[in-house]
Amino acid sequence: MLVILGPTASGKTQLAVQLAQQLIHGGQAAEIISADSRQVYRGMDIGTGKDLAEYTIDGQFIPYHLIDIVEAGDDYNVFRYQQDFDRVMEEVRSRHAVPILCGGSGMYIEAALRPDAMLAIPPNEPLRTELEALNDEQLHARFEQTPSGHSARADTSTRKRLIRAIEIGTYLNENPGLLPTQRPPLPAYRVIGLDPPVNVRRERISQRLRNRLQYGLVEEVEHLLNQGIPAEKLIYYGLEYKYVTQYVLGQLTYLEMVAQLETAIHQFAKRQMTYFRKMERDGLAIDWQ
């Protein structure tokens, strides 16, 4: 198995498709498994950068998985992703194809590679309501006060994930007898990390944002809202969906939306790299390119 990871706009999909093509030309089947926490949603195409045309190269279609598998507005999470990954992995290997895991969601990649099955931690709505009232500093303090077996691997890079980490820690502390089960063994794998120079990454992000706005990002968000997806849900998805929804609702001007969104995407890319470096410190060997 090949694993390709990197921050947004680093060229992961393009590399995965090129490698799959090389494998196919060498007589070996290859299929791509996405590790993107937002590309799972149908109808959220421009904002998540699906670029499904990229999966066809020189007339050759490269099969892909775990994209467009749930409805926008659904509550998808890393636990469900791990289950879906295991199912797809079994299917890909049954066809004797090389799986290429490709994405920028560190939590999803970790879930795919870890040996134990994740536990289903149900949402705790009263706790979430309580935590939403806290500022970021108070949330971090609350996380430190809720140590659990999950703490060391918890992703606290965003407010949403910090709240979820506290929710998981609280649940595990209240249910100490829970033990994870073993998953099917993974094939041997190599991890390739893409880390373009910061100035190159920043220019790619800015250009890509301009392209997405030009090709209908605002209209995509308006369509999702018109379908009945609550604005709070789109804002919860973050980045493009958060800021464009706020613009559509009249909470931001167009120029404010573009400026704040561009800054947020740059910050997100930095957080992605921070998470990948944490994965390295935890023992994952990454061959950076």
Whether 185 has a binding-site annotation, put simply, is no
The model carries a pTM of 0.84
Cβ 72 vs Cβ 40: under 8 Å: no
- Token output for 253: 């001007």
- Residue-wise pLDDT tens digits, 119-173: 778 889 999 999 999 999 999 999 999 998 778 878 787 888 899 899 989 998 9
Q: Which residue from 64, 49, 68 is spatially nearest to 100, judged by alpha carbons?
A: 64
Rounded Cα distance between 216 and 193, Å, is 30
Whether 8 has a binding-site annotation, put simply, is yes
- Token output for 116: 């134990």
Residues 237-264 have a mean pLDDT of 97
Whether 7 has a binding-site annotation, put simply, is yes
Question: For 173-182, 189-198, 277-286, which range has the lowest pLDDT when averaged over its residues?
Answer: 173-182
**Of all residues in the chain, what percent carry a pLDDT higher than 70?**
99
- Residue-wise pLDDT tens digits, 221-242: 999 999 999 999 999 999 999 9
Whether 9 has a binding-site annotation, put simply, is yes
- Residue-wise pLDDT tens digits, 204-225: 999 999 999 999 999 999 999 9
- Residue-wise pLDDT tens digits, 45-87: 999 999 899 999 999 999 999 999 999 999 899 999 999 999 9
